[in-house]
Amino acid sequence: MLVHMERAQAEGPRATGRNVHRLRTAAGLSLADLAAAAGISKTTLHGLELGDGNPTLSTLWALATALGVSLGELLEPPAPPVAVTRAAQGPRVDGAAVHARLLHRIPVRGTVEVYAIDVDQAEQASAAHLPGVEECLVVTEGAVRTGPGDAPVELAPGDSVHFSAAGEHLYRGLGERNRAVLLMLHPASVPPLAGRAGPG
């Protein structure tokens, strides 16, 4: 265990450097552009991307803000090429009718969260989510009534629905055992400071 911890600690600066380089490149920013936006020197930024040194928290926050990302996106190690979530894994949340298990989070101009859900024979009214959030539900077993509160639809196995979750919506299981895969699509955060267009 000690060996793994030491490896993880040693990998930290290199992983952060790779993340900064990847995010900077994806945003179309030069070293000079990002350094200026973050208020650090180009030399410091270059060294950080190479995995040299030990950047302060304030430096990392400045870079995260300039790139328009969370601090965690700079710190986390690269995701494995294949991410497997077994049947008993994943954090679980329970509501009046819906019991959900988080399977994956997939960034795609924002983030897509994929849940395996069970829907009881009870109605659950879900409050509006943030603007831009959408849901896509695919029924795999039983039957489910879901959708916007004023226009829900009934779905059988293999049926799917895609709707805006920025308004009140509902879930209700219609069979004895109702299962589905739910995708929650969250819009991307605000653009990086260094890449924003000016007025007009």
150-164: string of b/e by CB count within 10 Å (b at 16+)?
eebeebeeeeebebb
Instruction: Report the pLDDT value the prediction gives residue 83, as an integer from 0 to 100.
Output: 67
DSSP 8-state secondary structure symbol assigned to residue 53? S
pLDDT tens, residue order, the chain (200 aa): 222 323 333 456 788 899 899 999 988 999 999 999 999 999 999 999 998 877 888 888 899 899 988 887 888 766 665 566 777 777 777 788 888 877 777 667 788 889 999 999 999 998 888 888 888 989 999 999 999 988 889 999 988 999 888 889 999 999 999 999 999 988 876 444 444 333 33
Domains, the chain: 2-75 (1.10.260.40), 92-187 (2.60.120.10)
Within 10 angstroms of residue 43's Cβ, the number of other Cβ atoms is 10
Q: Please tell me whether residue 155 adopts helix, strand or coil conformation.
A: strand
- pTM for this entry: 0.51
Binning the chain into helix, strand and coil, the percentages to the nearest 5 are 30, 30, 40
